Amino acid sequence: MTPTEIQHSDLVGTSAEAVRAAIRTASYTGHTAGLAAGKLQCNLAILPEKYALDFLRFCQRNPKPCPIVGVGDSGDPTLPTLGRDIDIRTDVPKYRVFRNGTLREEVTDITDVWTDDLVTVALGCSFTFENALLRNGIPVRHVESGLNVPMFRTNIDLVPAGRFGGQMVVTMRPIPEAQVEQAREISRRFPQAHGAPIAAGDPADIGITDLARPDWGDPVEMKSGEVPVYWACGVTPQNVLLDAGLPICITHSPGHMLISDVAEDAETTILTKT
Amino acid sequence: MTPTEIQHSDLVGTSAEAVRAAIRTASYTGHTAGLAAGKLQCNLAILPEKYALDFLRFCQRNPKPCPIVGVGDSGDPTLPTLGRDIDIRTDVPKYRVFRNGTLREEVTDITDVWTDDLVTVALGCSFTFENALLRNGIPVRHVESGLNVPMFRTNIDLVPAGRFGGQMVVTMRPIPEAQVEQAREISRRFPQAHGAPIAAGDPADIGITDLARPDWGDPVEMKSGEVPVYWACGVTPQNVLLDAGLPICITHSPGHMLISDVAEDAETTILTKT
C-alpha cells in the first residue's frame, strides 16, 4: 500500500499533478496544507445519486459554508473541470467512509467502495482565502502556531433542502482590530472559498459559549487588540451529511483535501482548455 | 385576465414587491428592463425533476452563461431564497411553454401547466452588470438606442452534462477601446450575472460571421474607436434546454424576467433574514 513513504516537506514546491501522483499511489497520505501553492483545494462529499439533487439544492442555498466548485457525473470518478487526470477514488490522501451516519473506516483509497450510482461534489476550502490573507500581511494564528483552525458549532440556521439541514459550523481567526475590514474585503473576493466572514466579535451572538473550547480543531491564542472573526466552514456540509444518515457517504479526512489544477484566483472554478 | 392595464412607466421607481404584485394579477405583462432598480433579475428554466440533477451539473460546469441564483424544491412554486412571496406560476410577466423541444404557447400564468414534479432554476441575467457599467459611465449602446441587445451563436463548446450541451450564445456590446479593461473589471465583480467578458475584438475568433446580423435581438451601431466585447448570455441555457427536447420545459419570454428581492451587489444571491 505504501511503496515509498513521502514526507510533506518533500512535496512543498512541487506541482498539483506531482502531489496528486504521490497521493494516488498512497506514497503520500498526509495533510495538504501548503502544498500546490496557488491551486484551489477542495472539500469532498460523495453520495448516492438519489440524494444528489437535494444536496446540490442545499449547497446552492447555503453558498457560504457550501461553495460548490465541481460535480461529477453519476458513477464517474473523474472531475475534468477541476483537473485533467483526477480520479476521485485515489487522488485524496485520506477518506472517511460513513454508512447510515456512522464512521466505518478511514482509508487512503476508495476503489473498493466506489459504485456506479455515486456522485462526487467538491466544495471550496478556507486554504484559499488564508493564503490571500497571509500574502496581504494579515496574521493567521493557527498557521503561525502550527495548529489546526478552531471550529465551532453555531446557532445560525441553514436553509434546508430535502433531508439536509441544521446549523452552520464556523472557523475562528483572531484578527487585529485595525485589519478586520481588510480581512473582510480580501476574503469576500473568494466566494468559491467561503467568502467574507459571517460575523465578528462576541461569540455569544452566534451561539458559541467558549472560544477556548472549539468543537473541532485546536484553541488558538487571542492577543490584545484582536477581534475573533468567524468564517463559514466546510465542516458544515460534512455534519449535515452525517445527520442525514445516508446509506453511504464518503468525505475527505480533515485537512486531507483534493488538490485541483484550478488557480485559486481564477474567475470560475472551471478549468479552461489550453 | 387583465383587470387594469399598467404601463412600464407606471412601475418605474416602485419596489420589487409592487412590480411582482402587478405581474401576479397580469395587470402588467411587459418587459422588466429598468424596473425594481438595484434588485437581481433572473432568467428562468422550469423542468421535470428527472432532468434537474443533470441540468444543475450542466449549469455548474458552465457558470458564465448559466449562473445559478436559485433552485426550487420539486413541485414547490415558491423561491424563498430569492423573494419571500414569490410564486413562480404567476410572478413572471410572460412565459414560454415548450413540449418536446417545440414552443407550444406564450402565456402570462402557468398555474394550469404546473405539476408536482417541476423544478424551478433561476439564473442570473445581464441587466445586473449593465446597470453597473452605466453607473460607471460606460456606454451600453442597445440601452441608449432603445433596442434589444444583439445575441450571437458562437463556436465555443459548452461542458456537457447528461443530455445538455452545445455551444455558447453571447451578447455583444460596443465599448470604447479605452474603457474595455474597466468594463471587464466591473463585470467580473458580478459572477452571478455572467461575470467578465469571454472575448473582445474579431468576431471570427469565436465563430461569429457578421455582427450586423445577430441571431437574436437587434443589430447596434459600432462607433469609431469602439471594440465589440462579448459576454456569455442567458439564452445559452434556453437553447440547450430546447435542444434537449424535454417532454416539458418552461422559460421566461425574452426580457420578461423574474424580479427578486436580492440586492444586485449582495455577496450571495440568498436572501438573509431581516
pLDDT at position A1 is 47
- CA A54 to chain B, closest CA, distance in angstroms equals 8
- Whole-angstrom CA distances from B215 to B153, B209, B235, B239 are 7, 11, 11, 12
B70 touches A: beta carbon within 8 Å:
yes
CATH topology of domain B40-125+238-263: PSTPO5379-like (3.40.1640)
Q: What are phi and psi of A245, to 5 degrees?
A: 60, 45
Residue with cell 445519486: A49
pLDDT at position B92 is 98
Closest Cα to residue A162, out of B124, B47, B75? B75
pLDDT at position B274 is 53
| A61: three-class secondary structure by DSSP | helix
pLDDT at position A34 is 87
CATH topology of domain A8-126+237-263: PSTPO5379-like (3.40.1640)
Contact by Cβ (8 Å): A70, A82: yes
Tell me: pLDDT of B1 over 60: no
pLDDT tens-digit series, residues A177-186: 999 999 999 9
B57 touches A: beta carbon within 8 Å:
yes
pLDDT tens-digit series, residues B181-230: 999 999 999 999 999 999 999 999 999 999 999 999 999 999 999 999 99
- Among the residues of chain B, which ranges form H helices? 8-11, 16-24, 49-61, 127-135, 141-144, 180-188, 235-244
Top CATH class, B127-236: alpha beta
Tell me: pLDDT of B272 over 90: no
pLDDT classification of B239: cutoffs 50, 70, 90: very high
Q: Which chain A residue lies closest to B54 (C-alpha atoms)?
A: A73
CB nearest to A63's CB, from B49, B188, B268: B268
Contact by Cβ (8 Å): A139, A189: no
Map out the domains of chain B as residue ranges. Answer: 40-125+238-263, 127-236
pLDDT at position A272 is 80
pLDDT at position B73 is 98
| The CATH classification of domain A130-234, taken from the options 3.30.2040.10, 1.20.950.20, 3.90.76.10, 3.40.50.670 | 3.30.2040.10
Higher pLDDT, B128 or A95: A95
Q: Which chain B residue lies closest to A63 (C-alpha atoms)?
A: B268
B155 touches A: beta carbon within 8 Å:
no
Tell me: pLDDT of B273 over 70: no
With beta carbons under 8 A apart, name residues in chain B contacting A270: 61-63, 159
Tell me: pLDDT of B57 over 80: yes
B265 touches A: beta carbon within 8 Å:
no
Residues B100-122 have a mean pLDDT of 97
Give the residue ranges of chain A where pLDDT is below 70. Answer: 1-4, 273-274
Q: Is the ipTM of this complex over 0.90?
A: yes
- Whole-angstrom CA distances from B73 to A57, B49, B66 are 8, 9, 19
What amino acid occupies position B251? T
pLDDT at position A243 is 96
Q: What are phi and psi of A261, to 5 degrees?
A: -95, 5
